[in-house]
Amino acid sequence: MTKFKEPDQRDELKRELGVFQAMMLGLGSIMGTGVFVSIGLGAEIAGNAIILAILSAAMLAMCNGISSAQLAANHPVSGGTYEYGYRWLNPRLGFAAGWMFMFAKSSSAATAALGVSGYVLHLFDTKQIPVTLLAIIAIAVLSLITLTGIRRSSMVNTVIVTLTILTLLLFAITGFLSEVTHQNHSVSGSLTAVFADTTNLFEAIALMFVAYTGYGRIATLGEEVKSPRQTIPKAIIMTLVLSMTLYILVCATALKTVGAGEFGRLANQEVAPLHAISLQFENGLISVLIGVGAITAMVGVLLNLILGLSRVLMAMGRRRDVPAKLAVVHQESAVPRSATIVVALLISLLALMGDVKLTWSFSAFTVLIYYALTNLCAIRLKSDERMYPIWISYLGLAGCLFLSFWIEWTVFGFGAGVLGLGLIWQSVVPGRLPSSKATP
């Protein structure tokens, strides 16, 4: 007797996530690569203006979060903007959103996997093991966890996020109490550096924006959230406010201790900036705890990205935009197992690149296009569906499109090529279902 259902005979996924669990899933996606890698990459580009980049990116993320919350509350199904695009725009734009999401978040997940590997190697002070090998192992282990079911994955995620937040607070408190201070550290300099080079600032904002997009995991898990119209907006807003606060605390500590230049170098070359900075505190136990916390943070990112990506791929399978077998949900675990396995393979291929700056920049471009489409969907909401003023979605749309042009041109060109390839695929793939038949 088979344990699987055919895609056309599926049930909805179980609704078992409340506000706290949904917020923790969002934080698990945010409090990882963003705080342990991307802030340093941003500091390398913008210097002391990184704090302004963090604040600016948070404001744009809030606009996008509000748009996502409205859409998810009105159409609480797995798939995020892929599903919203089909419902409020047209099939081509809906597919484009799903396609870009898959590449954007697979790149983010690959960066997280490389981050796990980098911090492990830095913690044990060894370079004997290839960074890509450890990254692949991390992807495989976490994929197996997600295959056991959303409830168990959510419990593991809550533990990881709690440890990560405590670690970041330990880093900030120890750093501010430490007598180690970079000679060129200046808060006023951080606030006025924006006037020095706006080009670098805009690129840093684009990179930092990606670090906030973990709230999207809440929307892509829409079928598994209790009372989605109330739960999703609350969870997204709480996630963004808490993550921004922790980002600023950690960044201020790093700038005080080593300065923007060294912070950026450690992120780009060592892929373990906070652990390296913690060594300046001359407390071995603190350094070990921060290293372990960094690893758990990256693990949390991988866990949640695999969850979100598999749900979008499942939604694409429902419409036959990808093979229908990817939409099959396992009855006992209520997990789209085939989609999860394919996602793990895609992330692994990207991780083999071994370049965190490249994978993060590619994620930045593709995710900006994705959230531009999210805001466009929110603009199309009817008055009785709208929960917040429409100008918020217009501001989010303009911000995403504007920042996409400040990504490195080589990455911009490659991202545009990926989008074009996806649209060609959609045009030739057979058996795609119309919206009315595919929507759950």
Say if CB 39 and CB 356 are below 8 A apart: no
What's the mean per-residue pLDDT of the chain? 84
pLDDT digits (tens, 9 = 90+) for 339-354: 999 999 999 999 998 8
pLDDT digits (tens, 9 = 90+) for 16-67: 678 888 888 778 778 888 899 889 999 999 988 899 999 999 999 999 988 9
* pLDDT at residue 7 tops 60: no
398 exposure class (CB count in 10 Å sphere: 0-12, 13-18, 19+): middle
Q: Across residues 122-134, what is the average pLDDT? A: 88
Q: Across residues 120-146, what is the average pLDDT? A: 90
* pLDDT at residue 9 tops 50: no
pLDDT digits (tens, 9 = 90+) for 197-247: 788 999 999 999 999 987 776 766 666 777 777 787 888 888 999 999 999
- Give 332 or 7, the one with higher predicted confidence: 332
The band of 427, judged by pLDDT with boundaries at 50, 70 and 90, is confident
Query: Residue 69 and residue 76: Cα distance in Å, rounded?
Result: 10
pLDDT computed for residue 126 by the predictor: 84
* pLDDT at residue 261 tops 80: yes
The band of 128, judged by pLDDT with boundaries at 50, 70 and 90, is confident
* pLDDT at residue 431 tops 60: no
pLDDT computed for residue 5 by the predictor: 46
pLDDT computed for residue 430 by the predictor: 59
* pLDDT at residue 158 tops 90: no
pLDDT computed for residue 16 by the predictor: 67
Query: Could you tell me which CATH number the domain at 14-429 has?
Result: 1.20.1740.10
3-state secondary structure of 332: coil
Query: Residue 168 and residue 212: Cα distance in Å, rounded?
Result: 16
Taking CA atoms, 438 is separated from 81, 112, 277, 374, 378, in Å, by: 15, 33, 51, 20, 21
- Give 169 or 333, the one with higher predicted confidence: 169
* Residue 298 zone, left/alpha/beta (φ > 0; ψ -120 to 50; rest): alpha
Say if CB 106 and CB 346 are below 8 A apart: yes
* Residue 431 zone, left/alpha/beta (φ > 0; ψ -120 to 50; rest): left
Query: Residue 184 and residue 426: Cα distance in Å, rounded?
Result: 53
pLDDT digits (tens, 9 = 90+) for 48-58: 889 999 999 99
* pLDDT at residue 15 tops 60: yes
Query: Residue 379 and residue 384: Cα distance in Å, rounded?
Result: 13
pLDDT computed for residue 225 by the predictor: 75
Which stretch, 149-158, 280-289, 362-371, 421-430, has highest mean pLDDT? 362-371
Which stretch, 109-113, 183-187, 298-302, has highest mean pLDDT? 109-113
pLDDT computed for residue 221 by the predictor: 64
- Give 109 or 187, the one with higher predicted confidence: 109
pLDDT computed for residue 29 by the predictor: 72
Say if CB 83 and CB 77 are below 8 A apart: yes
Say if CB 220 and CB 76 are below 8 A apart: no
* pLDDT at residue 357 tops 50: yes
Say if CB 201 and CB 49 are below 8 A apart: yes
Say if CB 194 and CB 52 are below 8 A apart: yes
Query: Residue 274 and residue 283: Cα distance in Å, rounded?
Result: 14
Q: Across residues 313-338, what is the average pLDDT? A: 84
Q: Name the least confident of 22-31, 55-64, 125-134, 363-372.
A: 22-31
Q: Name the least confident of 45-54, 65-74, 365-374.
A: 65-74
- Give 421 or 5, the one with higher predicted confidence: 421
The band of 389, judged by pLDDT with boundaries at 50, 70 and 90, is very high
Global pTM value: 0.85
The band of 432, judged by pLDDT with boundaries at 50, 70 and 90, is low
* pLDDT at residue 196 tops 70: no
Q: Name the least confident of 27-31, 245-249, 313-317, 319-323.
A: 27-31
